[in-house]
Structure 1
């Protein structure tokens, strides 16, 4: 075994920590679109997201009718999809979120034992159109939009809040663009940390599609969150579309979509917004800029036997969080995150520690 692989093996077999991720929760109803049907049981699914876009443009002056074929009903959301990777790797994450009001929705049943599920109400609904190369997510956000910190306090109670915020290594909060009361919930998180005197070792954010909200709202939230960077190192994760939107909103020149160029632009953006880390994940690479470790990137091979794309970005984040529980260099953290993503899209679940090591061994860039 090479020295670099031994480093991964030693880390993956021994890392541990406490992770809390909140506070969304979705049930995803996933379909594929029929491109051509030959019989009741024989059809061809639309092969690319681009084909669907071209169809919409072609018929923009009239109407568009498509046939849907149901694929699955499953869990969705930042908390559960990110937490899945930690759970599969043997870390039992704490997941306050929307998993069912009176009882846990069957979509989340598989997570009862591997995660600490703390339900705050009924989940939101997402209709997902899935293609081999991408997806369209259409969500009814009422349940997520209406959630407030007061709701969290009422559902969990003071004693439970104190318990779950104790000795956290990583505290994560996701999907700002889908959560109307994100700032309110973030302030509640911080107030709980202040009250207990226990701040986590790191905070992690996935804002999702920032283009959806105004620059005024976005910059207001960035300023609110950044104030805590001196007390808690902040990590901000984005996909390739979101990072270009970030660059545009804070005045960073748009680089080509190439690993080294993106890493250098991340440094400029990170210094502008005052976060400890900026991370970007794309189908072809992960890149990051860190105040401590500088810049790095890790190439990702596109998988050819994809079975599920919804949750791929969250799986990257889950791998990155687990890789951040120790003192691994930045490049190695990105390699682990890439491996978690690659395994997930081909297996629709997270890897065990042994499977993660095997996935890294397959990677050309490690």
Structure 2
């Protein structure tokens, strides 16, 4: 990890504290079933060799064409999932106040979300989706059942919250994070209603900001992606807007916007982030492959490597932890470069331990890798 003296100076002079900050996060909710595809069994339970890579899993499936295959998925564990709940959980661990609105179970909260719902005083508006996440050394393949998330729309949210309470919640939030657009079919319509009907009625707040994450929009049409990007741009009239993208999402957005994409090197990532930001006219674009991260604002572009982990305990949710770390660092007053470094360490701690870190644990990992 490349940690500049500027970053070290900042973490020694600026406090990574979120005790006075409040956020609203939504709108999804998934029960994540983390599984390991079995390559060769040697006995009962977890006595087996897992399929190590996505490429090898793909080869096994391809080899079954015209025949058949029986691939065992060994259950590692079950946990709360979805971009929103994982990001919100990470922000809770970092010390921010969080209210959650999303699909956590209806009429009853699903057991995996019970503690989370208590901590966030959650408003649940649908049953959660189900994700079967196959994890490999080189990434993950997530198989999702999202039928219940089709119920999430503006009228359902207003019905659950009440328009007055919803406006009050938004008016008090320093950060409003709306994620997993891909899996919520009616989210674009919700965003239009939000920017047309609610935001003009919010009282001014200097610290208010929005964060959006598309969440792997490959299955959505180019016209759908372009439409939601246009709507997201409209939020900039009401507050600072950040759009977070992993590398593949960055490539997809460049393609939709007619921009030239690049590789994962520093210059290419900074240029991609800058070009997307300029095209959308929003405050910040964050672009984060696994090994590094870049961001662009009107003042320039920055890049850093991260504390890469060869043998992660978990990878599902790493990007959501990165997003939580970046948003939290920016709310604490850190520069874009230091916020990138703290974001990579938030994600880095999580993949090493399968636990969301505190701010002190994030800073400790950064110092260990400086």
TM-score, normalised relative to structure 2: 0.92
1:222 paired residue number: 229
1:266-345 aligned within 5 A? 266-291=273-298, 293-345=299-351
Q: Specify every segment of 5 or more residues in structure 1 that has no aligned partner in the other structure, as ranges.
A: none
2:198 paired residue number: 192
2:149 paired residue number: 144
Matches of 2:236 and 2:156, distance apart in 1:
26
- Is 1:162 the counterpart of 2:150 in the alignment? no
Matches of 2:66 and 2:30, distance apart in 1:
33
From 359, 364, 370, the equivalent of 1:358 is 364
2:27 paired residue number: 23
Matches of 2:297 and 2:176, distance apart in 1:
18
Q: Offset at 1:162?
A: 3.0
SS of 1:183's equivalent? helix
Relative CO higher for 1 or 2, CA cutoff 8 Å, sep ≥ 6?
Answer: 2
Bigger mean CA offset, 134-143 vs 41-50: 41-50
SS of 1:99's equivalent? coil
Matches of 1:73 and 1:14, distance apart in 2:
31
Matches of 1:328 and 1:3, distance apart in 2:
11
2:94 paired residue number: 89
1:8 paired residue number: 11
Matches of 2:134 and 2:208, distance apart in 1:
37
Cα 1:166–1:241 shift into 2, 3 Å: same
Q: Specify every segment of 5 or more residues in structure 2 that has no aligned partner in the other structure, as ranges.
A: none
Q: Offset at 1:254?
A: 2.2
TM-score, normalised relative to structure 1: 0.93
Q: Offset at 1:237?
A: 0.7
- Is residue 307–residue 345 contact of structure 2 (8 Å, CA) maintained in 1? no
Q: Offset at 1:13?
A: 4.0
Aligned residues: 362
Matches of 2:213 and 2:136, distance apart in 1:
23
From 177, 181, 187, the equivalent of 2:186 is 181
